[in-house]
Amino acid sequence: MLKLTLLILALLIGGVLVLAATRPDYFRVQRTAIVQAAPERIYPLISDLRQFNTWNPYEKKDPNIVGAYSGPPSGPGAAYAFTGNKEVGKGAIRITSATPQVVRMDLVMLEPFQADNRVEFRIEPAGPATKVTWALEGKAPFFAKVIHLFLDMDSMVGKDFEAGLANLKSIAESTRRES
């Protein structure tokens, strides 16, 4: 009986490892929202990390997050290092390029898992509104591929992106009404 149990367990583990090996070597999560505000109203809310953190859902997950800004106030070189609870983790984000159409960032996570990912915001006019796309992509090493079999990255991160874009929409649209 013990041998049969061990054989079944070995087959299950082997199956998971084989299945994980067939997964892509990268991941990408993205969400899009239509914001009733001009692109020039939205761009500073993304390219200035202090403004970014007014709607960033990860800042809201930990009211005790400790963060430090460095570099210029906005645009390339602007950076923010943070340490938060287990939901937020520890890491840093840095703007690598910024135009009114596309803002790119490097996100380096140290905890709960080490990761080096790319963040991209696309800001596109859509008639009187603006289409904003938030994307995260990175390499998926073998360990991550195994985890992704059990935890759906798109669902987990996608929900946060949807919440963040809703926050951005609320701020940009309320700012629009005040003008």
The string of pLDDT tens digits covering residues 71-102 is: 999 999 999 999 988 888 899 999 999 999 99
φ, ψ of residue 87 in degrees (nearest 5): -75, -35
User: According to DSSP H, which parts of the chain are helical?
Assistant: 2-21, 39-47, 49-52, 57-60, 142-150, 153-178
- The verdict on residue 6 lying in a domain is no
- The verdict on residue 119 lying in a domain is yes
Tell me which of 16-20, 66-70, 93-97, 161-165 is least confident.
16-20
pTM, 2 dp:
0.82
- The verdict on residue 159 lying in a domain is yes
- The verdict on residue 4 lying in a domain is no
Q: Which domain holds residue 30?
A: 25-178
- The verdict on residue 11 lying in a domain is no
| CATH number, domain containing residue 135 | 3.30.530.20
- The verdict on residue 124 lying in a domain is yes
The structural domain count of the chain equals: 1
pLDDT digits (tens, 9 = 90+) for 36-60: 999 999 999 999 999 999 999 999 8
- The verdict on residue 20 lying in a domain is no
Rounded Cα–Cα distance for residues 143 and 23 (Å): 11
